[in-house]
Amino acid sequence: MKNMIQQGKKRVLVLGSGGREHALAWKLAQSPRCERLFVAPGNAGTAAWNVDLPLDDFTALITFAQEQLIDLTVVGPEVPLCRGIVDAFQAEGLAIFGPSRSAARLEGSKAFAKEIMVNARIPTAGYEAFTEKEAALAYLKNHGLPLVVKADGLAAGKGVVVSFQYQEAEQAIVQMLDGSLGAAGRRILLEDFLSGPEVSVFCLCDGTTVLPLLAVQDHKRVFNDDQGPNTGGMGAYGPPAFWTAELSRKIIETVAQPTLEAMRAAGAPFVGVLFLGLMLTEKGPYVLEYNVRFGDPETQILMAMLKSDLLPLLEACVQGRLAEQTPEWHDGSAVCVVMASPGYPGAYPQGIEIALPEAGEAEAVIFHAGTCLENGRYVSSGGRVLGVTARGSSLAEAQTRAYELVRAIDFPSAHFRTDIGSKGLLS
């Protein structure tokens, strides 16, 4: 058992199986201080580091961390964080990167997050919370459109409906409160609609200090020109041209730092990644939502652009030494194009064989998400399958490199957008 992080070589465990976790593992493996790396359960891209342990078996994960003398565990997905995996590891004296169960409510409950924002006077859309259909529908009748209907709990990206028609809003309200999303929809929020460019801002936090990382723009809609249904993310690019040091400073002062102070006041100091989903409105930046972990596919951008060693940054969060850190970034931009299974985000086949090109230049990487190995072959096992990521001295160069690599991949019937990053070229 390790009660605290010591200097020197480290044994690191990454928890998760998506593109985000492959990107984190890829970056951590480059650290000269990473002696041994494990990923549980991982995917085909992390096969060299995988251990077959399920994310919902905290006892098995803790036992593994103890037996393998793990110095730091890094949690990728939100579900184990909201279920209290950090608390469970810390109770055994194990160092782990991520927020406590209490602090993870910033993502686990949209109503709790709104309360924090309102109490801290953080700019956000007006809203009301409901548990009864009649009251929610009555509010809808007296509210102008468009209106945003949100499930309070974790809904795997399916809990937000932007409604431009009354019937659409009514259907979302009824379905959520009737149980279409299970426990996540027992309470819903009806929220004012905001307009403007969206941006994801990631901040490392040690409970007191906020360290901003790069801003990234995600592409949620499944088709080009932001058409079609929302997905978990069809690609991303960053940093956007409109992102300036002044805007970053304003976000820290008006959103991130007040959030940390409000969480400390609520008895839930926040340690880990604070992911700010922002809308840049005519009145200034407004918070759409908090997430309490790295995003996917935004992490692929962050790891491609990060010049510094990631491991000391994560250690500093856990140790409360974040104020000592100043990360370095590569110049230029990065683009990540998600290659998805045909039919995604609806029903999609699995088991499609994929042939990948030989590893090429260091600035272009294929991150795996929904993949597994069958008889030594890569096959698809999920909706979002690959995150093809490239860095360049300019956004145009990064985009060109990313799509050149996409074209070199043999993934029959793969669906991908052909305009990832193009909005940045127009700004």
Architecture of domain 333-426: Alpha-Beta Complex (3.90)
- Mean pLDDT, the chain, whole residue set: 95
- For residues 176 and 187, what is the distance between their CA atoms, to the nearest angstrom? 8
- pLDDT one-digit tens code per residue, 353-367: 999 998 777 789 999
Helices 110-119 and 257-265 sit at what angle, rounded to 10 degrees? 100
Cβ-count burial 317-349 (b if 16+ within 10 Å, e if not): bbeeebeebebeeeebbbbbbbbbbeebbeebe
- pLDDT one-digit tens code per residue, 244-265: 999 999 999 999 999 999 999 9
Instruction: Provide the pLDDT for residue 230.
Output: 84
Residue 5 has pLDDT above 60, yes or no: no
Instruction: Provide the pLDDT for residue 3.
Output: 39
Instruction: Provide the pLDDT for residue 4.
Output: 44
Do the beta carbons of residue 97 and residue 73 sit within 8 Å? yes
Residue 38 has pLDDT above 60, yes or no: yes
Using a 10 angstrom Cβ sphere, with 0-12 exposed, 13-18 middle and 19 or more buried, the burial of residue 246 is exposed
Instruction: Provide the pLDDT for residue 2.
Output: 43
Architecture of domain 198-324: 2-Layer Sandwich (3.30)
Helices 298-305 and 19-29 sit at what angle, rounded to 10 degrees? 10
- Tell me which H or E stretch contains 354: strand 353-354
- pLDDT one-digit tens code per residue, 217-238: 999 999 999 999 889 899 999 9
Task: Give the CA angle between residues 30, 32, 37 to the nearest 5°.
Answer: 60
- For residues 281 and 327, what is the distance between their CA atoms, to the nearest angstrom? 29
Which ranges constitute the DSSP H helices of 218-256?
245-251
Architecture of domain 10-99: 3-Layer(aba) Sandwich (3.40)
Asked if the domains 10-99 and 198-324 are classified in one and the same CATH topology, the answer is no
User: Is the model's pTM score more than 0.75?
Assistant: yes
126-192 CATH:
3.30.1490.20
Q: Where are the domains of the chain?
A: 10-99, 126-192, 198-324, 333-426
Average pLDDT on 301-311 reads 98
Residue 240 has pLDDT above 60, yes or no: yes
